[in-house]
Amino acid sequence: MARRLRLNGTDSKNGGCPAVHEDLDSGEIIVQGRPLTDPADLRQLQHFGPDDAAVAVPRELLVNHGPKEMDRVPELIGLEEFGRLFHHFEHSAWHLETRSGYASDREDEGYAEFLATGRSSMDLDSDWCQNIHRQTQAGKYVGRVRVVDDPPTEGQRFLLSYARCNAATGEDARNIWREDAERVQLPAEDFWLFDSRLVAILRFDDDDVFHDVEIITEPAEVLRYCQVREAAVHASVPYDQFAAQLGTK
């Protein structure tokens, strides 16, 4: 079975070597770099076995993107503290949504309406919508990219219809097919990125219930999520264009 690898980062300026990946199951670190092949060099390596391979990478790659601790201890915050982040960010808040469905959506009154009519309702007077509208009116950027399966799940179709409400508050609402998300190596996790300095990873159980939030502020890790945002926005399309594509499939 193939490993589940995550790109932790690269210092390459052209998208190639060198890079550091992490095995999400075993925790092993995979370093990608220039092969060391000169026999004179290899003879100097201690404990180098016949099945081993050696690569050379810049020191900065490991400093910037290598693990800083043996076991990462998550920093968790409650939902109330998480909610305050949307009132106090300074210039940008961006969201990646990757799940096939969300329990909170299925419990929404508008979900039943969507199932009956094929179109979700818009509640622009909700606390959420009013706050996001205030933030975007103040010149701040709020955006999201939603990953969609092919064919889309019921929950994903609901969110695509609800994107009208997101856009009405000033959000940059975009979508991307899961195949394309995997092609550009987007992680299979939901998170918000605030001001390019703080990452809030949303943690769900197997029933799509949102439980708590893990905060990341370590600069190298935040940089990796910033790179994810850039790739996601570049590879995605505005929700209305995506909906038009979906109508022709």
> What predicted TM-score, i.e. pTM, was given to this entire model?
0.75
Tell me: the pLDDT tens digits for 112-159? 999 999 999 888 999 999 999 999 999 999 999 999 999 999 999 999
Q: How confident is the model at residue 15, as a pLDDT?
A: 57
Q: How confident is the model at residue 75, as a pLDDT?
A: 85
Tokens of 214: 């893990």
How far from 171 is each of 11, 23, 67, 188, CA to CA, in Å?
A: 31, 34, 34, 22
How far from 215 is each of 77, 142, 199, CA to CA, in Å?
A: 7, 19, 6
Q: How confident is the model at residue 65, as a pLDDT?
A: 78
Tell me: the pLDDT tens digits for 154-174? 999 999 999 999 999 999 999
Q: How confident is the model at residue 236, as a pLDDT?
A: 98
Q: How confident is the model at residue 72, as a pLDDT?
A: 62
The secondary structure of 83-139, three-state, reads: HHHHHHCCCEEEEEECCCCCHHHHCCHHHHHHHHHCCCCCCCCCHHHHHHHHHHHCC
Task: Say what angle helices 109-117 and 154-168 make with each other, to 10 degrees.
Answer: 110
Positions of the chain with pLDDT lower than 70, given as ranges = 12-16, 69-73, 248-249
Q: How confident is the model at residue 110, as a pLDDT?
A: 87
Q: How confident is the model at residue 80, as a pLDDT?
A: 92
